[in-house]
Amino acid sequence: MKAVLLCLVALCCLGGSLGDTPANCTYEELLGTWVFQLSKVGQDKNIDCSTAGPTVKSVTVHLQKLSQAVDDLGNTGFFTIIYNQGFEVVLNNYKWFGFFKYSQEGSVVKSYCDQTLPGWVHDVLGNNWACFTGKKVQRLAPKTSYSPQPNPFLQLFKHDMSFVERINSVQNSWRATAYREHELFTIQELTRRAGGRKSYFPRRVKSTPASPELLKKAAALPEQWDWRNVKGVSYVNPIRNQGSCGSCYSFATMGMLEARIRIQTNNTQQPLFSPQQVVSCSQYSQ
């Protein structure tokens, strides 16, 4: 039994270290007109999209501000950028997902933010699968970045309490605090727990000011909302410690799905999903 547990821990850590691609693309670069080229439709979820296959159909999609997707027939839907590595489009009863294309030689990474690697498309019921590749009509120059090389940080982490206080002094939507258990880890170990070195951004991304359209849409929303305390009731499962295994995307996604089911069923169902299943079994996990 002990050997089995050790194997599971090793798999978790391996999945975390391989969980991200080195691509670095932005929401602004995603906006615009894309042409999706599909392979044969009508396959099942076990389809192999390591290569897209021959094109049998092309679909033109316009990705607009406020995350609206529109095709040439006037059908409307929405899209979501997945971190800085890929995006999903939901349109005309179909879901499309692809990673941004990239290449890497040593520490030099080139991101092709106007193209995708072969991705997956299926209807909203999870049937009629196909592969596709996407290209943006307006071409973008490749972006070059440098993947940080391993460099051990063996000193124990120490909290900067003045930084915590500065965070709390400029906003009141949440409270920063110090977690003393973090001081038991080295900086290298905490970096792994935070997603690893591939989560590094070469420069800080500035927040885009809210547009008048977005402010109008948000006018009817409450100023504050917390699913952990809705009239004294929590719809969020207790936070699980993912340890040093990375895979934050898996823990976050499982936590989101658990909360949505609790909300939808008014807490009559309180499932606990497995992040390890995503890391070990999902072909979307990179």
CATH number at residue 232: 3.90.70.10
Q: How many helices (H) and strands (E) does the chain have?
A: 7, 10
**b/e sequence 174-199, b meaning 16+ C-beta within 10 Å:** eeeeeeeeeeeeeebbbbbbebbbbe
Tokens of 84: 């800085």
The answer as to whether 186 is a domain residue is no
Q: Look up the domain containing 275 and give its range.
A: 226-286
Domain boundary among 146, 173, 203: 146
- The rounded Cα 100 to chain-centroid distance in angstroms is 12
33 and 141 fall within a common domain? yes
Q: What is the pLDDT of residue 150?
A: 57
The answer as to whether 246 is a domain residue is yes
Partnered with residue 133 across adjacent β-strands are 37
Per-residue pLDDT of the chain (286 residues; tens, 9 = 90+): 333 333 333 333 333 334 578 899 999 999 999 999 999 888 998 999 988 789 999 999 999 999 999 999 999 999 999 989 999 999 999 999 999 999 998 889 999 999 999 999 999 999 999 999 999 999 999 999 886 665 556 788 888 899 999 999 999 888 999 988 888 888 888 877 776 666 666 667 777 888 898 899 889 899 889 999 999 999 999 988 776 666 778 888 899 999 999 999 999 999 999 988 888 877 776 5
The answer as to whether 220 is a domain residue is no
140 and 39 fall within a common domain? yes
Asked if 76 and 68 touch (Cβ cutoff 8 Å), the reply is yes
135 and 232 fall within a common domain? no
Q: What is the pLDDT of residue 10?
A: 36
Give the C-alpha separation, 121 to 125, whole Å.
11
- How far from 195 is each of 25, 41, 60, 156, CA to CA, in Å? 18, 36, 35, 18
The answer as to whether 181 is a domain residue is no
Q: Which residue has the tokens 């209807």?
A: 123
- How far from 61 is each of 29, 95, 138, 166, CA to CA, in Å? 15, 12, 13, 44
Q: What is the pLDDT of residue 228?
A: 94
Domain boundary among 146, 166, 198: 146
32 and 123 fall within a common domain? yes
Task: Write the DSSP symbol of residue 184.
Answer: G
Give the C-alpha separation, 134 to 119, whole Å.
8
- How far from 163 is each of 170, 179, 183, 250, CA to CA, in Å? 11, 14, 16, 29
Instruction: Please name which of 237, 261, 264 lies closest in space to residue 251, comparing C-alpha atoms.
Output: 237
Domain boundary among 146, 179, 205: 146
The answer as to whether 2 is a domain residue is no
111: left (phi over 0), alpha (psi -120 to 50) or beta: beta
Q: What is the pLDDT of residue 11?
A: 35
Asked if 254 and 278 touch (Cβ cutoff 8 Å), the reply is yes
Give the C-alpha separation, 196 to 238, whole Å.
24
End-to-end CA separation in angstroms for the chain:
29
The answer as to whether 167 is a domain residue is no
Asked if 143 and 202 touch (Cβ cutoff 8 Å), the reply is no
Give the C-alpha separation, 60 to 35, whole Å.
4
131 and 236 fall within a common domain? no
Rg (CA), the chain: 21
31 and 136 fall within a common domain? yes
Q: What is the pLDDT of residue 142?
A: 95
Q: Domain total for the chain?
A: 2
